[in-house]
Amino acid sequence: MPKTTLAQYLIQERRRFSDATGDFNSLILNVATTCKRISRAIEQGALSGVQGDADGAINVQGEQQKKLDVVCNNIFLEVNQEGGNLAGMVSEELEAPYQIPVEYSRGKYLLAFDPLDGSTNVDVNVSVGSVFSVLRAPDNVADIVVESDFLQPGSKQVAAGYAIYGPSTMLVLTVGNGVNGFTLDPNLGEFVLTHPELRVPERTQEFAINASNSRFWEAPIKHYVTECLQGTDGTRGKNFNMRWVASMVAEAHRIVMRGGIFMYPRDGRDPSKAGRLRLLYEANPIAFIMEQAGGRASTGHQPILSVQPTSVHQRIALIFGSREEVERLESYHTGQLPSSLPDPLFQERSLFRESA
């Protein structure tokens, strides 16, 4: 069978729009080039000399930067500033919007990205990823982009995707017409369509959450997880498996491929923060992918794609995955919780009880 490359796929998509200029295709191909370069940097591992912490550097999020965080962020900026498609960029690693240097042409799109999601996993050789969102720049955008230019709800995205760097490198992409997966062919040096028309299974028996935070969870999350852990003896009548990779892209990829639900909910540790993950360049692109693949993404109270951003680094609660499970958890947030169940994590006869 002939292989369809990412470039060929984008040309086919472009035919749907008679007024398309090719700028959008060029932008996506530049992002793909970025992901190829990041994949190469990661696969070198310790040989590259870019593992470990970035000399004590702390990013705008107040988080310890890894050397590869900085390397990957620079790759995103270097590749995409030259394309002439962008008016500006925002990144997890930058405090303010990035301005396109004056020597390059400016375009009509905005790019928001997390250059290396799950970077704490790099040193232990676990899958990590990049995630990005493409927006149209406002018609009246000035020569210098400002934060408000990026503050568009996720429903305004024109494209979103992620690259996962694992046993193989894959690019999973939506341009608003479903979701497709492309695998990097090292012989061709091209992303090739290998997973067309991806769909998230509506039902699942897997959930992903960091159970070490359970003491801070709100009641709907506690109740949902307890139901799952009760297995066939509980109200769900089926056994669930629990997963946690500490890389949102890896979690999202597993869910796109075989279903599941991911929860990084709001909790009680810091009432001033609505969640842990960032809305513009983490939650929105993943939500767009999930919705385009038949899944669902929510804060628990409203769809992620309907949230109006208030800042480029705004944090938010994020729940996504198989539609039936997300809707069930939403009903616990917005309706009346069923009667409480015992907590199997911490009661005397629990997951951690000693064998008889």
Q: Write out the binding residues.
A: 92, 114, 116-117, 210, 282
Residue 67 CA, distance from chain mean position: 21
C-alpha dihedral sign at 209, 215, 219, 222: positive
Binding residues for Mg(2+): 92, 114, 116-117, 282
> Residue 65 in contact with residue 51, Cβ under 8 Å?
no
* Binding region for substrate: 210
Which are the contacts of 270, defined by CB distance < 8 A and separation ≥ 6? none
